[in-house]
Structure 1
Amino acid sequence: MDLITKTGAAHDIAAAFIRLNPLDDVLVARQPLPAGLFIEAENLTVAQPIPAGHKVASRALAQGEPLRRYGQIIGFASQPIAAGEHVHVHNVEMGDFSRDYAFGVDRRETPRTQATFQGIVRPSGRVATRNYIGILTSVNCSATVARAIADHFRRDIHPEALAPYPNVDGVVALTHGVGCAVDPKGEALAMLQRTLGGYAVHANFHSVLMIGLGCETNQIDDLLAAQGLQTGHQLRTFTIQGSGGTTKTIASGIAQVKALLAEANQVKREAVSASHLVVGLQCGGSDGYSGITANPALGNAVDRLVAAGGTAILSETPEIYGAEHLLTRRAVSREVGEKLIARIHWWERYCQRMNAELNNNPSAGNKAGGLTTILEKSLGAVAKAGSTNLVDVYQYAEPVRAHGLVFMDSPGYDPVSATGQVASGANLIAFTTGRGSAYGCAPSPSIKLATNQRLFEHQEDDMDVNCGGIADGSTSIEERGAHIFAMMLRIASGERSKSEQHGYGQNEFVPWQIGAIT
């Protein structure tokens, strides 16, 4: 057995570090490594203390030399790095390098399987995983009345309001901070309208009230026309100005919700194919273990979902930067691959215009957890996408029509990204975290996957799945992948996730704000 030794102590080498690829220039610490520790398997002495999840150089590197993890470039040495040194932001920097997009060379057929869950089949044929009544706002000015209407039906405040309607998951108000003082023909308003339109017809809503002020730029009639929607029994619209003020608007909203509850309560769950499951993939509060444990395990679950005919939405474009070539190689066509690269180029121009850098991501928490550059973070993040073909690429909040693995453009900020995924049709969110992100998403339930054992134990009331055992070998990516897929089916069937139990979901609705406010 390989051993690591220090001052006469001996430990199993598996407890010390992880080498992810024979080409790698770094090892990942499984546990805090003390200075002076000798790793016999690598003929390497640790030069200074290495925190868990961080990297130690496995060989000497000259200034300017590329560093590899996962067998891929994650950055360049900003100064000479000796073997055994801590590799992190103090001695690694970004740099340009070419990527071989090799469109479609790795595409392959996915063997088909069958799986089912207990879903709610809407009259349109769309399938829901939850049954809410939603209240949307066209503008921030109507947010207060929307919240007041929803608060009337809160189970923690007025448990009697929904007691006769056990099949209604709740009444939720999804408000935002924009909707006026923007270019009426610009990209920002079109994106907001696309987002609200996607929520207005989301399968997880039995019915929706949309409330405006009345004089905003984002006129409700224009929004509906732009999205090809019409008002009716299950999509009702009104304004504060048209209703005669705040008190009357709240009273009207409460009365309309009451009139819808009995009908909403009549839904029944039935066995449906997993092909109706659309899962948004997220990672937030990532750490050095994310790309080793939870993300690959989620990727394994995604492969199982796609094999069963379902759909997975990968997003967070800045967090695939530097790893996009791994996706283009799996594109079903050159056209799909080029659509992805076009979004990457858009982000490069966007950051230049905003005097920002894509490497502003990773966050402070990501770096504390061991991630050094956006390239490293991206290589771990794309593991969520599993190994099946990339079948299409969508803009933010654009309706997803394809089945299989797709990509939707979004920022890396989780609430904004997940909001777009739900607008695109996601009826479930799977969210990996290493630092302990607390997140939920109405009307679609969110499953939280912990990347490490310590997080799962420390923040267990927020975490649905523990993937930490993958790092120490006590479980496998395949076992956790099967477990996650089974949980997806259970949550889609009505079992409540941890974030739902805590009441997360309303405040996390954050449409992408991209334009100038004038």
Structure 2
Amino acid sequence: MDKQWIQINPQDNVAVALTPLKQGERIETKNGSFELIEDIAPGHKFALRPIGEDENIIKYGLAIGHATTPIEAGQWVHIHNIKTNLGDVLDYTYTPDIPALAPRPEKKFAGYRRSSGKAGIRNEIWIIPTVGCVNNIAQAIEKASAHLVKDGVEAVCAFPHPYGCSQMGGDQDNTRRILADLIEHPNAGGVLVLGLGCENSNIDTIKPYLNDPESERIEYLVCQDVEDEIAAGIERVERLARRMKNDKREPIGASELVIGLKCGGSDGLSGITANPTVGAFSDKLIAQGGTTILTEVPEMFGAETLLMNRCENERLF
């Protein structure tokens, strides 16, 4: 029979239903057996043993809240009988809880070494508009350049966005920095910077944000300076493709690998499948000296102390 429920961590006092469980079904555990007091829907929790009022609910081996009323073994555990341990204001204290991972031989990945010294995992041509007004042109150039995806070119990608004009102060400065970071991203073996000409964040304004604005891997096009901007854009993308033709992957240490992480789908099962897997992967990569970047901050509400206590030192905390 397929597994019908899972206890994620041996310390947990709740389990998660993987299939619809019916009232009266007998649950066998290492510590004994009991019957379910009510139906349990897939992805929902039920108590593995009696839990007292105000006692912590343990899932993943960690406290995810506390019981607001006594809970019997086999009873549904949900928002009607559990409450977060968070308060309105928290005083954070650094209590290191860093997993000890056994030393491992350095892992390597097949990447592209860039002239900047950075390592990329892709070799793509990126079309970066400096302003939203040229998004359609960028996408038209992308579509017309699809035939160039061969040899060393793995993809041609446009990055449309609504910014680059009618912005002020720090907001505009942040946009320019992000665009510059994209232009110099190591996953791009070649970049076409596409400007309109009259925007606030025009090409000449973006160039000072670049470490190497004269790189042969960067082409520039001001649409208002040419008669046919799409044809001119395709010509520049073709030049980039020729320069990338002989690019080869090489072994690069995992310490240089940077992985962006994002929530895939918030449901009752992602917390027992993808999310722990991503966390375990992150531990292993960081142990190799690599980097993971966790986005979507609301996903960590209620667990921020767990992450903070995994910080390497108090200054980082």
Same fold flag (TM > 0.5): yes
Unpaired runs of 5+ residues, structure 1, are: 1-10, 155-160, 338-518
1:254 to 225, 234, 243: 234
Displacement of 1:319 after TM fit? 1.8
Displacement of 1:92 after TM fit? 4.4
| 1:174-206 deviations in Å (ceiling 9; x for gaps) | 111233333x212x3333323222211111211
Structure 2 residue aligned with 1:207: 190
SS of 1:32's equivalent in the other structure is coil
Displacement of 1:256 after TM fit? 0.8
Root mean square deviation of aligned Cα: 3.1
| Contact in 2 for aligned 1:134/1:174 (Cα 8 Å) | yes
1:88 to 78, 91, 104: 78
TM-score (norm 1): 0.53
Determine the C-alpha separation between the residues in 2 that align with 1:92 and 1:329. Answer: 24
1:327 to 301, 307, 315: 307
| Contact in 1 for aligned 2:129/2:195 (Cα 8 Å) | yes
Displacement of 1:148 after TM fit? 0.6
Structure 1 residue aligned with 2:17: 29
Pairwise mapping of residues 46-57 of structure 1 onto structure 2 (< 5 A)? 46-57=36-47
When residues 179 and 208 of structure 1 are mapped into structure 2, their CA distance, relative to the original with a 3 A threshold, is same
1:263 to 228, 240, 243: 243
The structure with the larger Rg is 2
Pairwise mapping of residues 66-215 of structure 1 onto structure 2 (< 5 A)? 67-76=57-66, 83-94=73-84, 96-97=86-87, 101-104=93-96, 106=98, 111-154=103-146, 161-162=147-148, 165-182=150-167, 184-186=168-170, 188-215=171-198
**Structure 2: which amino acid aligns with 1:70?**
Y
| 1:270-319 deviations in Å (ceiling 9; x for gaps) | 33333332222233114334343433334443344344443332333222
Of Structure 1 and Structure 2, the greater helix share is in 1
When residues 105 and 273 of structure 1 are mapped into structure 2, their CA distance, relative to the original with a 3 A threshold, is closer
Determine the C-alpha separation between the residues in 2 that align with 1:50 and 1:252. Answer: 62
Pairwise mapping of residues 2-13 of structure 1 onto structure 2 (< 5 A)? none
SS of 1:250's equivalent in the other structure is helix
**Structure 1: which amino acid aligns with 2:37?**
A
SS of 1:214's equivalent in the other structure is coil
Residues 1:297 and 2:277 are matched in the alignment: yes
Structure 2 residue aligned with 1:224: 207
TM-score (norm 2): 0.83
Unpaired runs of 5+ residues, structure 2, are: none
| Contact in 1 for aligned 2:145/2:237 (Cα 8 Å) | no
Structure 2 residue aligned with 1:315: 295
| Contact in 1 for aligned 2:64/2:85 (Cα 8 Å) | no
Determine the C-alpha separation between the residues in 1 that align with 2:101 and 2:83. Answer: 39
Determine the C-alpha separation between the residues in 1 that align with 2:309 and 2:277. Answer: 21
| Contact in 1 for aligned 2:183/2:191 (Cα 8 Å) | yes
| 1:390-430 deviations in Å (ceiling 9; x for gaps) | xxxxxxxxxxxxxxxxxxxxxxxxxxxxxxxxxxxxxxxxx
| Contact in 1 for aligned 2:24/2:35 (Cα 8 Å) | yes
SS of 2:272's equivalent in the other structure is coil
| Contact in 1 for aligned 2:10/2:61 (Cα 8 Å) | yes
Residues 1:19 and 2:4 are matched in the alignment: no
| 1:123-166 deviations in Å (ceiling 9; x for gaps) | 33332222111101122111000001111122xxxxxx327x42
1:274 to 254, 258, 265: 254
Determine the C-alpha separation between the residues in 2 that align with 1:242 and 1:15. Answer: 65
| Contact in 1 for aligned 2:98/2:312 (Cα 8 Å) | no
| 1:66-106 deviations in Å (ceiling 9; x for gaps) | 53323433245567755533233455454534576425464
**Structure 1: which amino acid aligns with 2:196?**
L
Determine the C-alpha separation between the residues in 2 that align with 1:191 and 1:72. Answer: 38
**Structure 2: which amino acid aligns with 1:124?**
S
Determine the C-alpha separation between the residues in 2 that align with 1:78 and 1:269. Answer: 57
When residues 109 and 177 of structure 1 are mapped into structure 2, their CA distance, relative to the original with a 3 A threshold, is same
SS of 1:35's equivalent in the other structure is coil
